[in-house]
Amino acid sequence: MDATALEGMETVVHLAGESLGPGRWTAGKKARIRESRIQGTKLLCQQIAQSDTPPKVLLAASGIGFYGDCGDTVVDESAPQGEGFLAELCGEWEAATRPAQEVGVRVVHLRLGIVLGAEGGALAAMRLPFRLGLGGRLGSGQQWMPWIGLADTVRAVDFLMTNDRAEGPVNLVSGAVRNLEFTKALGAAVKRPTLLPVPAWGLRLLLGEAAEEMLLSSTRGKPGRLDALGFVPQQRTLPEALDVTL
């Protein structure tokens, strides 16, 4: 990495990382996920620490997966780290920013929920089957899904970039709904029925650990820090966010 590329920058936003999907998490896939996030962040922060004029702010991606499977418990940034591959990954990912923190850089950990964007991510993958009338709840449908619209994600990053009180972990979510409610809202947005549930055993058979942690796990995330800092999302409900996105 060219350390001079950071000279003169006031803010760095670091979002790079191997995609979590699609498909099973093989040993090789998990290694790439970890390497791209932890080692990539560590290298960046070491370069920041060695810079003659380090940036004032680093906004580094993390994930709501930090909390693991929480059932119905509401989790804000004060909640402890959970268990599982994603929770351990997020914990190490955030710890990799330590070199930047040690030289006085204000570091914000962006604990991203499910970002609703039409061109990529979870929503893009679900859009076609739902439009074909093949959508349905996953497993019991009772698991909580923390969501945020893409436009509000960008607004929140800009807000945190310029707010000197923002530091440490921040849940980037607008709300959380059960998978069953998400399914109905997405079906309504594309004007299609959602009558084809996918059994949990089928997801586990197809995707293994990835299904357990990404599709069946429950995280009722709350935007505690964003609320406290005064950030107001433009899309306050899931139907509003889906209407804007789709």
> How many residues comprise the chain?
246
In the prediction, which pLDDT does 95 show?
A: 98
How many domains does the structure of the chain reveal? 1
Q: What is the pLDDT of residues 76-114, one digit of tens each?
A: 999 999 999 999 999 999 999 999 999 999 999 999 999
Confidence of residue 119 (pLDDT cuts 50, 70, 90): confident
Q: Domain containing 156: what range?
A: 3-245
Q: What's the token pair of residue 103?
A: 């030289």
- Cβ contacts of 2 within 8 Å, gap of 6 or more: none
Share of the chain above pLDDT 90, in %: 86
CA 7 → CA 1, 115, 226, 239, distances in Å?
13, 31, 30, 43
User: What average pLDDT does the structure give for the chain?
Assistant: 94
In the prediction, which pLDDT does 84 show?
A: 97
Q: What is the pLDDT of residues 201-215, one digit of tens each?
A: 999 999 999 999 999
Candidate from 27-36, 64-73, 119-128, 135-144 with smallest mean pLDDT = 119-128
Cα 126 to Cα 111: distance, rounded to the nearest angstrom: 22
We report the CATH number of the domain holding residue 8 as 3.40.50.720
- pLDDT higher than 80, residue 1: no
Cα 9 to Cα 244: distance, rounded to the nearest angstrom: 33
